[in-house]
Amino acid sequence: MKPFYLVETITRDKLMHQGIFYRPENPGKKALLWVHGLTGNFYGSISLYETLVDQCEKKGLGFAAFNNRGHDGITSIKKADLRKTTGYDRINGGAGFENFKETIYDIDAGISFLIRQGFTQIILLGHSTGANKVCYYAGKQKDKRVTSIILASPTSDRLNQKDKIKLAKDLQYMQELVDKGQSNQLQVGFNFFPMTPKRYLSLFTPNSWEDQFDYGDPRPRMKCFSKIKYPLLVTLGTLDESLDRPAKEVINVFDSYQNSSNYKSVIIKGATHGYTGKEKEFTQTVIDWVHKL
Q: What is the pLDDT of residue 261?
A: 87
Distance between first and last Cα of the chain: 27
Supply the pTM of this predicted model: 0.97
Phi/psi for 34 (5° steps) reads: -85, 130
Q: What is the pLDDT of residues 207-225, one digit of tens each?
A: 999 999 999 999 999 999 9
pLDDT of 63 over the 90 cut: yes
Angle at 65 between CA 6 and CA 97, to 5 degrees: 105
Domain boundaries, the chain: 5-156+209-292, 159-205
Q: Which fold has domain 5-156+209-292?
A: Rossmann fold (3.40.50)
Across the chain, mean pLDDT equals 97
**In whole angstroms, what is the distance from residue 120 CA to residue 118 CA?**
6
